Amino acid sequence: MKVLTVVGARPQFVKAGPVSRALRKRHTELLVHTGQHYDDAMSAAFFRDLEIPAPDVNLEVGSGLHGEQTGEMLRRLEPVVLEHEPDWVLVYGDTNSTLAAAVVSSKVAYADGRRPLLAHVEAGLRSFNRNMPEERNRVVADHLADLLLAPTTAALEHLAREGLAERAEQVGDVMVDAWSWAAERAAAHLPAEAAARPGFILLTLHRAENVDDPARLAALIDALATSAAALRAPVIFPVHPRTRDILDRHAMALPANVTDIEPVGFLEMVALERGARVIATDSGGVQKEAYLAGVPCVTLRTETEWVETVDAGWNRVVGGDPDALRAALADVAFLAGDRPRPDLYGDGQTATRIVSALERRLESGTATAAAPADTQRVGAPPERGMTEAVAT
């Protein structure tokens, strides 16, 4: 079985780590990095920390407007898929890299008329907030995919409601595999700034809706700093480059009890999560990791895809409401964190289940479907387009 994996952004490197390891035991994997994230701290650090093999191909797309970035990915990825003719294209999550890879793999046709199958890891998540670019990306990826690998029962139910049940399987959440693997190795990796501030609150912020408007960003940070001061807790804030850009451009100073650091590698992050008294975040992945670490989480968004953490009492969705934030951080029972923590996201063997699902679906003949004739020839004349050159 030949699998072409497409990753591009920080959370995708985390998710791909365990799956790559499991895949490569028996199969051929070609790892394609779109280049959406490119700073050492946003990309290479994860390949080192998670011991992921270097990408076979880097499309070096970089940053840009949504259309520009996604369009470049489409243009650069298509010839790679055509050259390697994988059985599967494997995508993760909900970024522009996910969207581009899903669109390419559902459109290309090989010379003999076959096309790759598309598998989507983390299928079925919904925030039901169409203002988020991630929600639009994940809905498109789910509807294009041949195999929908759902992490939770809630995700599987969303897929069923959208008529996608036949292509869906619940496999658990591969972030449990990645996080558990890293937790065994993270002890020595607590950043010095955090080690010097025991009882710290860990803060991450990067969602467009929270950080692109400087007034909103300042209000969120101030609300957290005020609540943290009431708890006498310092705040450690590894700053995403998108957020750093806004802080710098608007010359925004941080409150005295907030210590900003550069984005950290995965082992440092897991050490920070395990050492934190509370985690405040707008990240999807970090909400789940807080649960795995047994640390109470306040989610600085108006909704969450990870509703199980809320139902279990470990996560409070407070949006940008300073009163709700203050109430959560003043709630002694919530902060005590001594509630049960059932295996909501699987047993850490999700990567193996993903590989089995890919094998089974390929063997069952539903794989590598013939491309409809009219998708094989569109657009540019043969000499201008790789698809046409191969598909003749």
Print the binding letters for residues 300-339 with ligand UD1: x by CB under 6 A, - otherwise: ----------------------------------------
Stretch of 107-115, 283-291, 314-322, 349-357 lying at the interface with ligand UDP (CB under 6 A): 283-291
Q: Which is nearer to ligand UD1, 129 or 153 (CB)?
A: 129
Which residue reads 């890299």 in tokens? 97
DSSP state string for 16-68:
HHHHHHHHTTTSEEEEEE--SS-SGGGTHHHHHHTTPPPPSEE----S--HHH
Stretch of 93-101, 188-196, 288-296, 368-376 lying at the interface with ligand UD1 (CB under 6 A): 93-101
Task: Decide: is 227 part of the binding site for ligand UD1 (CB under 6 A).
Answer: no
Structure tokens, 309 = 């953490």
Task: Decide: is 314 part of the binding site for ligand UDP (CB under 6 A).
Answer: no
From the list 166, 119, 80, the residue with the least C-alpha distance to 1 is: 119
Supply the minimum distance, in Å, between the C-beta of residue 292 and ligand UDP. Answer: 10
Strands of the 315-317 sheet, one edge to the other? 258-261, 235-238, 201-204, 278-281, 297-299, 315-317
**Binds ligand UDP by CB under 6 A, chosen from 142, 289, 305, 308:** 289
**Binds ligand UDP by CB under 6 A, chosen from 19, 168, 264, 351:** 264
- Beta partners for 236? 202, 259
Per annotation, catalytic residue among 37, 158, 206, 240: 206
Which residue reads 């700073």 in tokens? 39
Residue 204 interacting partner from ligand UD1, ligand UDP, none (CB closer than 5 to 8 Å by kind): ligand UDP
Task: Decide: is 206 part of the binding site for ligand UD1 (CB under 6 A).
Answer: yes
Residue 61 interacting partner from ligand UDP, ligand UD1, none (CB closer than 5 to 8 Å by kind): none
Whether 206 is a known active-site residue: answer: yes
Nearest-5° Cα angle at 230, 226 to 232: 110
Q: Which is nearer to ligand UD1, 13 or 345 (CB)?
A: 13
The region that residue 9 occupies, defined by phi over 0 for left and psi between -120 and 50 for alpha, beta otherwise, is: beta
Q: Kindly provide the residue ranges of all beta strands, DSSP E only, lying in 93-183, ordered along the sequence.
A: 117-121, 147-150, 168-170
**Binds ligand UD1 by CB under 6 A, chosen from 9, 91, 171, 235:** 9
Which amino acid is residue 29, in one-letter code?
E
Residues 118-157 contacting ligand UD1, CB under 6 A: 133-134
Give the separation between CA 357 and CA 366, rounded to whole angstroms: 12
**Binds ligand UDP by CB under 6 A, chosen from 17, 86, 151, 284:** 284
Q: Which is nearer to ligand UDP, 203 or 223 (CB)?
A: 203
- Under a CB-based contact definition with an 8 Å cutoff, are residues 224 and 280 in contact? yes
Q: Which is nearer to ligand UDP, 78 or 289 (CB)?
A: 289
- Under a CB-based contact definition with an 8 Å cutoff, are residues 29 and 20 in contact? yes
Which chain residues interact with ligand UDP by CB under 6 A?
Answer: 10-11, 14, 204, 206, 238, 263-264, 266, 269, 283-286, 289
Q: Catalytic amino acids?
A: 206
